[in-house]
């Protein structure tokens, strides 16, 4: 029995478990992988009105509409086999990396401290450094990282459909993303939180004073839904202005289209550092959520997931042991039992995954240990000037630690 749909109305995007109306489209649904997103979005755009956040009542109405719409769209899309985009064969990821001699990492289109290109085209940032550490784990001792800039709404389809091997792009680890989008997070690269930024001369001193402010947020992120939850609990009638990308949200904020910008605190610091010179801004102390940011891979590829996870752990373990880019090579001749365990673990994982030994040493030699990466991109050595806070090893007052390397 065939099922036909004639859907001709605005097409939204599916991201982070929610649907949002974007631009008009008129073509029909297709079962081809790259049409899954379009088809599912059209079903939802017929059902869920695009409302703005104006008070607790409107928020409740919008969430009820969305809940009903998601349930109906899921049934419709299940009937035509389009509930999730067909993923590429995840088990070939590591083989593909070896064949290409390069790791393709999904990053932002340009967020200072995470992933940004300079005038010469050279990328830098926390996510970029992790990609470089991962790229030298197997291919060799040279930088073979391929950076793929993505908007927030593009990132999960890009990972599922095999355009990238690992998603970085300062992405938050959540249950719905792992359970519903066919991805796995390999660990936490940065503990962050969603906050607010206002002009330095704004009368707003705390989040409790936001009142009926217009708040700019980026489309395709968790910031909008989390802000809704926060405002609803406090019966605050915020209005959200949703922009297509982080640069668009920052530009709208600088232009005065909104009085408040909400994002991860690290992103707010990046925006502040790139603000027009004659303007000054303040980041409020309150945070409305916890944001564990980390690398994500496709499900179904244990070897690739293991390698990504343990490259991250190797950077943290080196930090715990005070092994830096300058001295990590001493591990080769050290008689210290901890150093020997690290080398043994390195050789064992290399043997099991068929990668060259000393992958962990190459990672640290390439970009340094975790604290070196943080300080260079987000901390005292960067324009952001952020304190690491909990992003320190456990033996120096933070909450980062690597499982035992044995």
pLDDT in tens, 81-105: 334 444 555 568 988 998 888 999 9
Least Cα distance to 103 among 324, 350, 307 occurs for: 307
Least-confidence region, from 5-14, 49-58, 101-110, 215-224: 5-14
Bridge pairing between strands 123-124 and 116-117 = antiparallel
Confidence of residue 354 (pLDDT cuts 50, 70, 90): confident
Give pLDDT, residue 330: 84
> Is residue 214 scored above 80 in pLDDT?
yes
Superfamily holding 90-190+293-396:
Periplasmic binding protein-like II (3.40.190.10)
* Band (223; pLDDT cuts 50, 70, 90): very high
Its pTM stands at 0.75
Beta bridge partners of 111: 115
- Token digits for 399? 């909450």
DSSP assignment of 259-280 equals SEEEEEHHHHHHHHHTS-TT--
The answer to whether the beta carbons of residues 166 and 263 sit under 8 Å apart is: no
Tell me the pLDDT of the chain averaged across its residues.
80
Q: Is 179's pLDDT higher than 90?
A: yes
pLDDT digit string, tens, across residues 265-277: 999 999 999 898 7
* Coil/strand/helix, residue 283: strand
More confident residue, 31 or 89: 89
Q: What integer is the mean pLDDT of 308-335? A: 91
Return the CATH number of the domain spanning residue range 194-289: 3.40.190.10
pLDDT at 89: 57
Q: Which residue has the tokens 């064992």?
A: 348
What is the per-residue pLDDT across 118-162, written as a single tens digit (0 to 9) for each? 999 999 999 999 999 999 987 544 568 999 999 988 999 999 999
Of 45-49, 241-245, 312-316, 327-331, the least confident: 45-49
Residue 281 has what pLDDT? 95
Structure confidence at residue 400 (pLDDT)? 97
Where do you find CATH 3.40.190.10 in the chain?
A: 90-190+293-396, 194-289
- Helix, strand, coil distribution of the chain in percent, nearest 5: 40, 15, 40
Q: Which of 367, 376, 361 is nearest to 310 (CA)?
A: 361
**How far is it, in rounded angstroms, from Cα 42 to Cα 81?**
15
Q: Beta partners for 215?
A: 240, 260
Total Cβ atoms within 10 A of residue 222: 24
């Amino acid at each position: 029995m065939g099922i036909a749909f004639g859907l001709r109305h605005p097409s939204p995007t599916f991201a982070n478990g929610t649907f949002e109306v974007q631009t008009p489209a008129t073509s029909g649904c297709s079962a081809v992988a790259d049409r899954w997103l379009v088809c599912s979005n059209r079903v939802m755009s017929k059902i869920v009105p695009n409302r703005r956040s104006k008070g607790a009542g409107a928020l409740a109405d919008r969430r009820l509409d969305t809940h009903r719409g998601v349930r109906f769209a899921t049934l419709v899309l299940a009937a035509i086999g389009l509930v999730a985009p067909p993923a590429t064969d995840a088990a070939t990821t590591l083989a593909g990396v070896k064949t290409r001699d390069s790791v393709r990492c999904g990053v932002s289109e340009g967020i200072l401290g995470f992933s940004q290109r300079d005038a010469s085209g050279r990328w830098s940032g926390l996510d970029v450094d992790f990609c470089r550490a991962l790229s030298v784990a197997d291919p060799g001792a040279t930088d073979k990282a391929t950076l793929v800039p993505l908007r927030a709404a593009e990132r999960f389809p890009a990972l599922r459909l095999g355009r990238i091997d690992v998603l970085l792009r300062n992405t938050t680890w959540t249950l719905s993303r792992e359970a519903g989008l066919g991805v796995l997070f390999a660990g936490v690269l940065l503990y962050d939180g969603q906050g607010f930024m206002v002009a330095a001369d704004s009368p707003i001193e705390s989040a409790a004073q936001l009142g009926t402010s217009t708040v700019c947020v980026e489309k395709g992120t968790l910031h909008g839904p989390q802000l809704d939850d926060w405002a609803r609990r406090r019966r605050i009638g915020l209005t959200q202005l949703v922009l297509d990308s982080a640069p668009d949200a920052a530009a709208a904020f600088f232009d005065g289209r909104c009085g408040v910008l909400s994002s991860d605190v690290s992103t707010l610091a990046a925006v502040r550092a790139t603000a027009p010179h004659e303007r000054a801004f303040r980041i409020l102390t309150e945070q409305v959520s916890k944001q564990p940011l980390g690398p994500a891979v496709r499900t179904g590829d244990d070897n690739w997931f293991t390698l990504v996870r343990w490259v991250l752990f190797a950077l943290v373990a080196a930090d715990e042991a005070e092994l830096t880019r300058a001295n990590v090579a001493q591990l080769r001749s050290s008689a210290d039992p901890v150093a020997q365990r690290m080398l043994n673990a390195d050789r064992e994982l290399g043997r099991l995954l068929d990668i060259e030994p000393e992958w962990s040493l190459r990672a640290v030699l390439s970009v340094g240990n975790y604290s070196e990466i943080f300080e260079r991109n987000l901390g005292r050595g960067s324009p952001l000037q952020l304190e690491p806070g909990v992003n320190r090893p456990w033996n120096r007052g933070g909450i980062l630690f690597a499982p035992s390397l044995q």
